Amino acid sequence: ALAVAESPTRARVVANNISFLLREFKADQEEWLRNVDRNRAEAVSKSDEKIGVKHPVVIVLDNVRSAHNVGNILRLAEAAQVESVRLCGMTPRPPHPKIMKTAMGAAEFVDVGDADASTLQTVLDLKAKGYVVYGVETTETAITLWDAPIPSSNPVAFVFGNELIGVDVEVLEECKNVISLPTYGNKNSLNIATCVGIVAWDYLRRGAT
């Protein structure tokens, strides 16, 4: 243990940690970086009345396998103030430790729906309530997100699938349209959490804010 503590590698790690703490302190003093989450009660009462006002959009996760991805998506969902994230099938749920770690405190603020709901039943229920449902998948008939006619007058839901096999075919058949994100390299798809973020903020950009 003493040899490890006195090794040059350990010394570099300690020096880097000290350097980071000094930079963090300086940034905080100069207000360069807002790295502390807003106090929700204070934000609502003082200046940001949009905190807590949900946008009429539901994220549906169809048998997503990675708890890390789910945690990132819950963090995105809270930041975008979407209505809910439905965790269907084998999708991990809070309080899974990997979800709680990557969500960084956001999971408790996001409605994640019923534990036993299937993706297909969830989509059918949303349609019955007036939601326009879109599958997000790389199919030959998919419409590029930029060209998709996504209404701002109706609540919408976006279905994202398993990292390997995508959205179930039966679920896609119940969607109004299938949309995809264009890619320009060898890979034809993005990480699901990245994809959710792009789709959610594109929806907000279209005027939902």
| pLDDT tens digits for range 143-186 | 999 999 998 889 999 999 999 999 999 999 999 999 999 999 99
Sequence-separated (6 or more) residues with CB below 8 Å from residue 132? 150, 151, 154, 155, 156, 157, 176
78-109, pLDDT tens digit by residue?
A: 999 999 999 999 999 999 999 999 999 999 99
Lowest model confidence (mean pLDDT) among 66-70, 133-137, 146-150: 146-150
CA atoms within 13 A on the CB side of 1: 0
Q: How confident is the model at residue 38 (pLDDT cuts 50, 70, 90)?
A: low
* pTM for the structure as a whole: 0.82
Q: Percent of the chain having pLDDT more than 90? A: 68
